[in-house]
């Protein structure tokens, strides 16, 4: 599995731990930054990560910032991205099962490392259910 990952300064430390976990599980991980805990702007990292997933170079993405909101809002500006903000295991499960989320966003300031690991495990272990959800997911991108 190929995973693109990014964070801002608030998510930098958690991102490093998630990268270690994903690599230990055999994933190929592309890190789009940030590369320190110095204050930065999350869109500078979210857009390249989202481009990578949207283009198919990566299968999924992980985006981490303080609240998880800004980085997920940025990723969701991309038509092919379905980024879900998850702070609980059940949300991660439903994001994949019902919404076919392809990017997981997490709020580094509101969850523990253990909780983040459990969320990541559930997100990547859950398949899209399809069925009645397909039509809904297909309506997400803006049609011009």
Helix (H) or strand (E) holding 4: strand 2-7
Q: Does the pLDDT value for residue 140 go beyond 80? A: yes
**CA 10, 13, 14, 16: dihedral to nearest 10 degrees?**
130
| Overall pTM > 0.95 | yes
Residue spans per domain, the chain: 2-138
Tokens linked to 96 = 């994949």
Q: Does the pLDDT value for residue 144 go beyond 80? A: no
Q: What is the pLDDT of residue 24?
A: 98
CATH code for the domain defined by 2-138? 3.40.1400.10
pLDDT tens column, 35-73: 999 999 999 999 999 999 999 999 999 999 999 999 999
Q: What is the pLDDT of residue 143?
A: 81
Q: Is the peptide bond before 14 cis (omega within 30 degrees of 0)?
A: no
Residues paired with residue 28 on neighbouring β-strands, in sequence order: 2
- The catalytic residue positions are 65, 98
Tokens linked to 92 = 């991660």
| Separation of alpha carbons 76 and 80, rounded Å | 8
pLDDT tens column, 73-123: 999 999 999 999 999 999 999 999 999 999 999 999 999 999 999 999 999
Residues paired with residue 7 on neighbouring β-strands, in sequence order: 64
Residue 142 vs residue 144, higher pLDDT:
142
pLDDT tens column, 121-139: 999 999 999 999 999 999 9
Residues paired with residue 11 on neighbouring β-strands, in sequence order: none
Q: What is the pLDDT of residue 4?
A: 98
Q: What is the pLDDT of residue 7?
A: 98
pLDDT tens column, 9-30: 999 999 999 999 999 999 999 9
Supply the DSSP string of 42-93, one letter for each residue: THHHHHHHHHHHHHTSSSEEEEEESSSHHHHHHHTTSTT--EEE-SSHHHHH
């Amino acid at each position: 599995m190929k995973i693109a990952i990014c964070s801002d300064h608030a998510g930098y430390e958690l991102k490093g731990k998630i990268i270690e976990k994903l690599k230990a599980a055999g994933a190929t991980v592309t890190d789009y930054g940030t590369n320190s805990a110095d204050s930065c702007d999350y869109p500078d990292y979210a857009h390249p990560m989202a481009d990578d997933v949207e283009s198919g170079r990566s299968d999924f993405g992980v985006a981490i910032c303080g609240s998880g909101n800004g980085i997920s809002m940025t990723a969701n500006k991309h038509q092919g991205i379905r980024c879900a903000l998850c702070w609980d295991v059940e949300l991660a499960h439903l994001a994949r099962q019902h919404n076919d989320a392809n990017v997981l966003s997490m709020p580094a300031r509101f969850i523990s490392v253990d909780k983040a690991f459990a969320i990541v495990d559930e997100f990547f272990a859950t398949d899209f259910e399809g069925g009645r959800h397909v039509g809904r997911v297909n309506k997400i991108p803006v049609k011009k």
